[in-house]
Structure 1
Amino acid sequence: MVGHKQLNCYIIKRIAQEYPVPIVRLTESDPIFQMEQVNMAQPLFVYVSIIMMGGMLSLFLAVYALLRFKHAPGGRYYVLAALMASILAFGYAFELTSDTLEQIKFWIGIEYFSLPFLPVFTLLMCVEYAGIRLGNWKKRMLYLIPLLTFVIQHTNDLHHLYYTSIGLRADAPFPIVELGRGPWYAVHTLYLYGCLALSIFALSTRMRRSGRRFRLQMLAMAAGLLVPVAGNLYYLAGLSPYGIDLGPVFISFSFVFHSMAVFRFRMFDVAPIARDLVFENMEDGVLVLNAQNVMVDYNAAMLKLAPGLNSRLIGRPAEEVLAERPQIAQSVVDGRECDLRLGGDDDGIYVHLRFSPIRDREGQRSGSIVTFVNITERVEMEKELKRLANTDGLTGLFNKNALIERAERGLREASRHGGSAAVVMFDVDHFKRVNDTFGHEAGDRVLSGVAEIIRSIIEPEDVAGRYGGDEFVLYLPDTGAQEACARAERIRAAVAALAIDVVGHGVRVTSSFGVAQLPAEALSDPTPADVCMQTLMRKADQALYESKQLGRNRVSLYADEVRGTDAARLEGAE
C-alpha cells in the first residue's frame, strides 16, 4: 500500500513534467535588474560625491594658499596638508568605484602616498602658526614614522606588518575591501591621533593669549581637526555602513571648517598675523582696556613696567592690576596723557602715557589702548642739551644767562620764605698779562683751575658762573655779609696758592673780590627779582673795584654793608 507522502511527491512530480514553468533570467536591459542596481549604487554614489567634493575643496584651498599666504606662519605646511588631503580623497573615491580587488589595492597604494604625511604636515602647520619654535632635527624626526609607514604599506605583501589580510566583503552590495590590521597599522593610528592631539594643544596654547579674532580662526581650525577623528573612531568601532572607511568622508567635511578659518576669519592673512607679532614685539608697553577700564590684554613689554602682570589678571580693573605702580594706575584711571618717571635713581626710566580710543562699528567708544612710550632717551638728551646751553664750555660753570636766571629764581624763592642773600664777584688779577706772556692755553688752564677751586668750596645750593672773560659771580642764598666774605677769602687764598705748569714755567695768579649783601628785610619788599639781582651785582662790582684800588688780591665788602656790620659790632660791644 502506497503511503500518503509518496503519493503526494508522485503527483507533484507528474504535474511538473506535464506543465513545466520556464526559468526567468534577468539581463542588464531588464527594468527590474536596473532598479536593483540603482538601489545598490545609491549609497555609494552619495559617499563618492561627498568625497570628490571634499577633494576638490581641499585642492582649491591648497592652490589658494600657495598663491596667497605660503610665506605666512604655517602657510607652507597648510598647502602640503591640503594637497595630501585632496590626494587621499580622490584616491579613496576611485577605490570605492573599483570593480576588482586588484584595482582596489592599486588605489589604496595611491592613498598612502599622502595619508602617512597628512598628520605631520598638520602638526607642523599648527606649531608654526602658534609661534612654537622647533629645531630642524626635531622636524626631521617627525618624518621618521610617516616614511616607515609609506615603505611598510607598499611592501606589505612581503611581511604583512601593515595588513595581515586583504579581501572583499561578502555582505556588501558593491566591492568593499576588508582589511586585517597588522601591528604597524596600530603604530600609524597612534601616530595619527598623537599628531592631531598635539596640533589642537598648540592651537589652544596660542588661543589663550590671542584676541577674539584669532580665537575664532583657531576654533574653526581645531574643529576641522576633530571631525576626521570622529569619523575614524566611528569606522574603527565597526559602525560604518558596509564597512566603508568614513575617515576620508569626514576629512572632506573638515575642510568646510578649514575654509571658514581661511575665508571667514582670515586665517593665515599676513596683516592680522603681522599685527599680532608687532603687538607682542613692541618695545613700548601696551595695555588694552574695555569701556569699564578692565584689562583685556597686554604685551610682553608691559612686564618691564609692571612685573606683576600675568594672564590671571585679565578681566580685572586697571587700578587693581596696576596696584604695584600707583603712579601708572592713577594716570590710567584718570585717562590723562602725561610723562612719568618710573624706577630708582640708577635704573629709572621716563614714559609718556598715550591713550587711543577703540570704537565699535557704530562709532561708539568700547575701550582704549594705553601705550607707554619710553621717552628716557629723549628726556636725557633734553637734559644734556639744556646743560650744554646753560654751561660755560671752558669752566663747566653756569654761563652768564643761566647764572642770572638761577640767581633770580633763588631770589624769588627767598622772598617767599624769608632770608638773606649775597653776591660775590671776582676776577683774576692781570689776566691779560698771563695770556700775553704764556699764551691763551695757559690762560684757559688758569680759568679751569679757578673753576675747580670754586666747586670745591661753595655749597650745593650756591650758584656759580663765569660772567665773562676772567670774571666770576657767585650767588649765595641765606648767607650774611661776614659768611660771604669768609667764603670769598677761602677762594682767594686757594687761587693765590694755585700753580699752573706751562712748558716748565710755573704760572701763579691772584684774584680780587667784591661782596654785596641783600638783607632779609629788603627781600620782603615787593621788588622784582631781576631788580634785586642787578642791584646786588652792581654793588659787588663796586666793591671789586675797591679791591683793585687797594692793591688787588683782597676781599672788599660793599660800603653800606661795611657800615652796617660796624654798627652791629658797636651795638654788641655796648
Structure 2
Amino acid sequence: MSIDTLRTILYAESAVVGLLVIYSAIRQKGQLAQYFFFVVLCTFFYVFGYASELGADSLADVRFWLTFEYFGLSFISSFWFLLSWKLWHHRVPRFRMKVLLFVVPAVTLFLVASQEYQSLYYKSLNLIEVDGHYLVILDKGPWYWVYTGYQLLLIALSFFLQFRAWLRQGRSYLTDSFWMLLGTLNLVPWIGAYQLGLSPYNIDLGPFGIAVSTFFIAIAVFRFGALGSEEVLLYSIFASIDDGVLVLDRDGRISGFNAAAQKIFLWLDTNFIGKPVSSTSDAALFGSAKNQNIEKVVELSNSRRYYEGKVTQIYEGRLQLGKIYIFRDITQSRLLMRRLRKLANFDVLTGLYNRRRFMEQAEKELARAQRRQTAISMLMIDVDHFKTVNDQFGHVIGDRVLSAVGRVIKRRGRGFGFAGRYGGEEFVVFLRNTQNQQAKEIAEGIRQGIEGIAMEERMISIKVTVSIGLSCCEAGECGHNVDTLLVAADRALYQAKNRGRNRVES
C-alpha cells in the first residue's frame, strides 16, 4: 500500500472524526458527553495532523504538523481514562485527580513544541525520501518512553474499568460498555505493531487504530445511549436513595448495588460484581425470597439494625431480565413497636406485668398445669400503710417505694414464676410447679427482702413492709380458674393484715 493511499485513508478518517466532533458537541448531555467530545476532538488533531505530516516536504513542516498532532495525541489517553472512569463510577473524579492526569500530557506537549531547543522527547528528527515522499525518522528521547509508558498504563486502566462495567451490565454485547471495551482492545494491535517495528515504512499506526476505536465508542454513545442524561439521572437517584438496592441478572449474578446496600450487606463491594449471590454469606436469605417480604438483621459493634426487603422481578415483555431487591431500614419502627408492646404489657413504674398481661399469662399457665398435673400457687402482696407514706412524703417517694418493692419481688421470684402489679400498691405472683410449703418459703423470702429495703427522706428512715396472702392448688386438683385462686389469695391477704401485717398467711 502506497503512502498516498495511507494519507487518503487518514484524511477520510479525520473527516468522519470531524463530523463526530460536531455531532457530539451538539448532543452533549452531562459530563460523560464532554469527555467523549474531547476524545474525538483530540483524535481529529492526531489523525489530521499525522496525515499532513506524511505530506510534508521540509523539516519545518514536519515540526509544525508534529506539534499539531500532539495537541491531540498528548491528551487522548487521559480523556479516554476519564470516559471509562465515568462509565464505571457514574460520578466525576475529584479535581486533584483530573489535574494529575494531565500533568504528563502537558509536559509532553511542551517538549514536542520546543523540540528545537532540547532533546528530551526526540533526540533528533531526520527526513528520508521514500517513493517520492519524505518520511521523518525519529530518534526517541527519554521522555518519549515516559509518556509511552504512561499512555499504556491509562489504556490498561481504562480496559479494566470498562470490563468491570461490562460485567455489571450482565456481559451482554448490547451494552455501551461492550462497545467501549472493543474500542480499547482495538488499540492493542495497532500500537503493538508500531512499537515492534512491524508497520510499513515504519509509519505510526496509532492514528489508524484510534480512529477505528472512536467509531466503536460512537456506537456505544449513539446506539446504546451511553451519554443519555436519563441514564445519568436514574443512576444518580439509584446511588443517592437511602434504601439499599441490589440488582441481580437473570442468572442470579450481582450486577449492581448502591452505597446504602453496602451498609446492609457488609461483605458487598465491587469485587462481587458478576458473581452469583448464591456464593455469598447471605445466599439463604436470597434463596428464600420469591415475591414475599424478607428481613435482614445487621449486627453492629454497639447496635442492631433491622431491614425489610422486597423483591421485584424485572421483565422486558415476557423475557425475565433479573430481580431488584430493595431494603428499607425499619429499625425505628421496630423499636417503636417493641416499646408499644412493652407499654401494653408491662407496668412502667415497676417493670412487672400489668394486670391485663398478668391475667392472660396466668390463664395459660393454669391450663398447662392442668394438662401436666402439676401444683401451682398464687401470692397476693400489699404494701403496708402505703397511704401514710404517700401522705407524709409525697407521691414521688411513694413511687420509689413501689419501684423498690417491684425489684425485690422480681428478684426473689425469678425462676419460680412471674409477677405483676395488680393495682395501686398491690402485687401478684404466679408460682409454677410449687406446692404450699415451697410457696410459703418463697413468700417469706419476698417479705424479708422488702423488709430490708433501706430508704430515707428528710432525715427520716422509711420502713417498708408487706402483707402476703397465699393460695395453692395441689397436683391434679387445679380445676380452679385464675379468679378463684386470686380470691383465695386475697382472703389470705386480709387475714395477714388482721393479724398485724408484715407476715405471710395461707
1:390-443: CA deviations, max 9, x gaps? 222222222222222222232233344332322211212222222222222332
Aligned: 1:120 with 2:83: no
Over 3 Å counting, the alpha-carbon distance change for 1:426 and 1:108 in structure 2 is same
The aligned counterpart of 1:382 is 337
Over 3 Å counting, the alpha-carbon distance change for 1:368 and 1:137 in structure 2 is closer
Amino acid corresponding to residue 503 of structure 2 in structure 1 = R
Matches within 5 A, 1:63-142: 64=27, 67-70=28-31, 77-92=35-50, 95=53, 102-103=60-61, 105-127=63-85, 129-131=87-89, 142=101
Match of 2:224 among 265, 268, 279: 265
In the aligned structure 1, how far is the partner of 2:399 from the partner of 2:144? 92
The aligned counterpart of 2:210 is 251
The aligned counterpart of 1:196 is 155
Question: Secondary structure of 1:113's match?
Answer: helix
Match of 1:411 among 347, 359, 366: 366
Contact 1:425/1:474 (<8 A) preserved: yes
Amino acid corresponding to residue 514 of structure 1 in structure 2 = G
1:164-188: CA deviations, max 9, x gaps? 234363514xx55433333254554
Amino acid corresponding to residue 448 of structure 1 in structure 2 = S
Contact 1:543/1:556 (<8 A) preserved: yes
Matches within 5 A, 1:176-215: 176-183=134-141, 184-208=143-167, 211-212=170-171
CA displacement at 1:384 relative to structure 2 = 2.6
In the aligned structure 2, how far is the partner of 1:358 from the partner of 1:461? 55
Aligned: 1:485 with 2:444: no
Aligned: 1:470 with 2:425: yes
Question: Secondary structure of 2:456's match?
Answer: strand
The aligned counterpart of 1:227 is 186
CA displacement at 1:466 relative to structure 2 = 1.5
The aligned counterpart of 2:124 is 164
Contact 2:285/2:294 (<8 A) preserved: no
Over 3 Å counting, the alpha-carbon distance change for 1:202 and 1:311 in structure 2 is closer
The aligned counterpart of 2:503 is 554
TM-score between the two structures when normalised by the length of structure 1: 0.72
Identity rate of aligned residues, in percent? 29
In the aligned structure 2, how far is the partner of 1:93 from the partner of 1:254? 17
CA displacement at 1:101 relative to structure 2 = 6.0
1:531-554: CA deviations, max 9, x gaps? x12222222222222323333333
Matches within 5 A, 1:47-62: 47-62=10-25
Match of 2:354 among 399, 405, 408: 399
Contact 2:21/2:37 (<8 A) preserved: no
1:120-158: CA deviations, max 9, x gaps? 332344345444998877765554442332222222233
Question: Secondary structure of 1:384's match?
Answer: helix
TM-score between the two structures when normalised by the length of structure 2: 0.81
What is the total number of aligned residue pairs between the two structures? Answer: 499
CA displacement at 1:503 relative to structure 2 = 0.6
Matches within 5 A, 1:141-540: 142-159=101-118, 162=122, 164-167=124-127, 169-172=129-132, 176-183=134-141, 184-208=143-167, 211-212=170-171, 216-233=175-192, 245-269=204-228, 272=231, 275=235, 278=238, 284=244, 286=246, 288=248, 290=250, 294-297=252-255, 301=261, 318=278, 321=279, 328=285, 331-332=288-289, 337-339=293-295, 350-359=306-315, 361-365=316-320, 367-370=322-325, 375-460=330-415, 462-523=417-478, 532-540=481-489
Contact 2:243/2:327 (<8 A) preserved: no
In the aligned structure 1, how far is the partner of 2:277 from the partner of 2:88? 29
In the aligned structure 1, how far is the partner of 2:282 from the partner of 2:196? 59
CA radius of gyration, larger in: 1
Contact 2:314/2:320 (<8 A) preserved: yes
Over 3 Å counting, the alpha-carbon distance change for 1:338 and 1:539 in structure 2 is farther
Question: Secondary structure of 2:117's match?
Answer: helix
Over 3 Å counting, the alpha-carbon distance change for 1:79 and 1:310 in structure 2 is closer
The aligned counterpart of 1:33 is none
Higher relative contact order (CA 8 A, sep 6+): 2
In the aligned structure 1, how far is the partner of 2:214 from the partner of 2:335? 57
The aligned counterpart of 1:4 is none
Question: Secondary structure of 1:424's match?
Answer: strand
1:462-500: CA deviations, max 9, x gaps? 221211111111122222222223222222233334342
The aligned counterpart of 1:542 is 491
Q: CA RMSD in A?
A: 4.2
Amino acid corresponding to residue 207 of structure 2 in structure 1 = P
Amino acid corresponding to residue 251 of structure 1 in structure 2 = I
Contact 2:183/2:216 (<8 A) preserved: yes
Amino acid corresponding to residue 488 of structure 1 in structure 2 = A
Over 3 Å counting, the alpha-carbon distance change for 1:472 and 1:377 in structure 2 is same
Contact 2:307/2:328 (<8 A) preserved: yes
More displaced stretch, 128-137 vs 219-228: 128-137
What runs of 5+ residues in structure 2 fail to find an aligned partner? Answer: none
Question: Secondary structure of 1:117's match?
Answer: helix
In the aligned structure 2, how far is the partner of 1:202 from the partner of 1:317? 22
In the aligned structure 2, how far is the partner of 1:287 from the partner of 1:40? 53
In the aligned structure 1, how far is the partner of 2:240 from the partner of 2:170? 12
In the aligned structure 1, how far is the partner of 2:325 from the partner of 2:9? 56
In the aligned structure 2, how far is the partner of 1:305 from the partner of 1:191? 37
In the aligned structure 2, how far is the partner of 1:390 from the partner of 1:140? 64
What runs of 5+ residues in structure 1 fail to find an aligned partner? Answer: 1-38, 558-574
Contact 1:51/1:249 (<8 A) preserved: no
Over 3 Å counting, the alpha-carbon distance change for 1:516 and 1:269 in structure 2 is farther
Contact 2:13/2:47 (<8 A) preserved: no
